Amino acid sequence: MSIEFSKYYRLALAACSPLACAQWALAEEFSLMIGSPVAAQNFQAKSAQFVFRTKGCGKLAKLQVSGNAEGVVNGIRKSIRLSRIAAMPVAGVYALHREWPAEGIWVVNLTGRCDAATASALVPIGPNGFLRESSKFFPRSATEAEIEASLKSLATGTNK
Amino acid sequence: MKMFDRHLSRHLAAYVDGELPPDRARKAEGHLSQCARCRAELEQVRLGMTIVERLPLTEAPESVWNSIQGTLSTHEPRRPFPIHIWRFAGGAAVALILVAAGLYWYSARQAETRWEVVSLNGSPKVASRPIHGVGHIAVGEWIETSGSSRARIKVGEIGSVDVEPNTRLRLVTARPGEHRLALRSGEITASIAAPPRLFFVETPAGTAVDLGCQYKLHCDATGHGLLRVTAGWVSIEWSGREALVPAGASCRTRPRIGPGTPYFDDAPARLVGALETFDFADGSSALGIILAASRARDTLTLWHLLSRVGAAERPRVYDRMVEFSAPPSGVSRDQVLRLDAQTLGRWREELAWTW
* Extents of the domains making up chain A: 28-156
CATH number at residue B147: 2.60.120.1440
**Residue spans of alpha helices (H) in chain A:** 2-26, 144-156
Which residues in chain A come in under a pLDDT of 70? 1-27, 159-160
Q: Is the pLDDT of residue B111 over 60?
A: no
Same domain, B77 and B125: no
Same domain, B256 and B117: yes
pLDDT in tens, B216-252: 999 999 999 999 999 888 998 888 888 999 999 999 9
Residue B2 lies in a domain: no
Same domain, B228 and B138: yes
The pLDDT assigned to B11 comes to: 78
Phi, psi (degrees; rounded to nearest 5) at B139: -55, 130
Q: Is the pLDDT of residue B56 over 60?
A: no
Buried residues in A23-60 as b, exposed as e (16+ CB within 10 A) = eeeeeeebbbbbbbbbbbbbbbbbbbbbbbbbebbeee
- The Cα A99–Cα B139 span in angstroms is 39
Angle B36-54/B22-34 helices, nearest 10 degrees? 120
- The Cα A146–Cα B49 span in angstroms is 59
Question: Which residues are paired to A31 by β-bridges?
Answer: A55
Same domain, B254 and B278: no
Same domain, B120 and B43: no
Same domain, B89 and B223: no
- The Cα B118–Cα B153 span in angstroms is 6
Closest CA to A42 of A118, A107, A94: A94
Q: Is the ipTM of this complex over 0.90?
A: no
Q: Of B241 and B347, which is predicted with more confidence?
A: B347
- The answer to whether A97 faces chain B, any CB pair under 8 Å, is no
Q: Is the pLDDT of residue B3 over 50?
A: no
Closest CA to B109 of B169, B170, B54: B54
Same domain, B226 and B180: yes
The vertex-B208 CA angle with B202 and B213, nearest 5°, equals 135
- Contacts of B244 by beta carbon, 8 Å cutoff, 6+ apart: A38, B233, B234, B235, B262, B304, B348
Same domain, B106 and B159: no
Does the pTM surpass 0.95? The reply is no
pLDDT in tens, A93-106: 999 999 999 999 99
Residues of B near A (Cβ–Cβ under 8 Å) read: 1, 26, 29-30, 33, 193-196, 211-213, 231-233, 244, 246-248, 349, 352-355
- The Cα B194–Cα B182 span in angstroms is 19
Q: CB-hemisphere CA count at 13 Å for A131?
A: 22
Same domain, B94 and B143: no
Reported as a pLDDT band with limits 50, 70 and 90, residue B66 is low
The fold of A28-156 is Immunoglobulin-like (2.60.40)
Q: What is the distance in angstroms between the Cα of A20 and the nearest Cα belonging to chain B?
A: 23
Residue B283 lies in a domain: yes
Same domain, B119 and B255: yes
Residue/partner pairs of A22-31 with CB below 8 Å, 24 or more apart: A27/A56, A27/A58, A28/A55, A28/A56, A29/A56, A29/A117, A29/A139, A30/A54, A30/A55, A30/A56, A30/A57, A30/A112, A30/A114, A30/A117, A30/A118, A30/A119, A30/A139, A31/A55, A31/A56, A31/A119, A31/A137, A31/A139
Residue B237 lies in a domain: yes
Q: Which helix (H) or strand (E) holds A55?
A: strand A50-55
- The answer to whether A13 faces chain B, any CB pair under 8 Å, is no
Reported as a pLDDT band with limits 50, 70 and 90, residue B283 is confident
- The answer to whether A46 faces chain B, any CB pair under 8 Å, is yes
Q: Cβ contact (<8 Å) for A41 and B195?
A: no
To the nearest whole number, what is the mean pLDDT of chain B? Answer: 84
Same domain, B238 and B155: yes
Same domain, B108 and B201: no
- The Cα B160–Cα B245 span in angstroms is 20
Domain count, chain B: 4
Residue B99 lies in a domain: yes
- Residue B276 belongs to domain spanning: 266-355
The pLDDT assigned to B53 comes to: 54
Largest CA-CA distance found in chain B, in angstroms, rounded: 94
Chain B residues within 8 A of A44 when measuring between CB atoms = 212
**Chain pair A-B, CB pairs under 8 angstroms:** 57
One-letter amino acid at B193 equals: A
Q: Is the pLDDT of residue B177 over 60?
A: yes
Q: Cβ contact (<8 Å) for A43 and B212?
A: yes
The pLDDT assigned to A5 comes to: 53
Reported as a pLDDT band with limits 50, 70 and 90, residue B4 is very low
The pLDDT assigned to B284 comes to: 73
